[in-house]
């Protein structure tokens, strides 16, 4: 089995921390926030998609991909992330694009380095770990927000 196949399986499994939460979410939950925090559940879902699109393009080389990472640009919750169907589709499209570009990597690509202003110089393998931990981190936030957050 190739390194790329193994990394793809690892990424897909790690992402279930996020996707499993989405199975039971309701539209009214998107406005939930934890006390003393800025980001709603809807913002967190959009943000995961935004960053996955950015990784596909800027880290793994999907150069033809057009990305409008609104949550990264705004750097705060603007309150607009309230349409569940749109958010579900958006994060699925982001995952598909990231999956497609991961599949396009060959085994030698994983040791190549990339440089970003956000996290410096990393191998593509390290960058994959970064996007997996990013998604898992926000999945945890989302889970807590849905469980303990209030609709604001």
Q: Which domains does the chain have, with CATH numbers?
A: 3-151 (1.20.120.450)
Q: Is 131 left (phi over 0), alpha (psi -120 to 50) or beta?
A: alpha
| Residue 129 DSSP symbol | H
Could you tell me the end-to-end alpha-carbon distance of the chain, in angstroms, rounded to an integer?
Answer: 49
Q: What pLDDT score was predicted for residue 85?
A: 98
Task: Write out residues in the chain with pLDDT < 70, as ranges.
Answer: none
Parallel/antiparallel/unpaired status of strands 120-123 and 113-116: antiparallel
């Amino acid at each position: 089995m190739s390194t790329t196949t193994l990394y793809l399986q690892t990424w897909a499994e790690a992402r279930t921390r996020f996707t499993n939460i989405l199975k039971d979410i309701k539209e009214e939950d998107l406005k939930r926030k934890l006390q003393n925090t800025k980001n709603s559940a809807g913002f967190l879902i959009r943000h995961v998609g935004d960053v996955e699109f950015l990784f596909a393009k800027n880290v793994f080389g999907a150069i033809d991909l057009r990305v409008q990472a609104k949550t990264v640009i705004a750097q705060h919750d603007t309150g607009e992330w309230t349409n569940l169907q749109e958010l579900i589709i958006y994060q699925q499209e982001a995952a598909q694009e990231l999956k497609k570009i991961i599949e396009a990597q060959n085994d030698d690509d994983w040791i190549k380095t990339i440089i970003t202003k956000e996290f410096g110089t990393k191998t593509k393998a390290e960058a994959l770990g970064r996007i997996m931990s990013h998604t898992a981190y926000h999945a945890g936030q989302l889970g807590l927000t849905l469980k303990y957050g209030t609709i604001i």
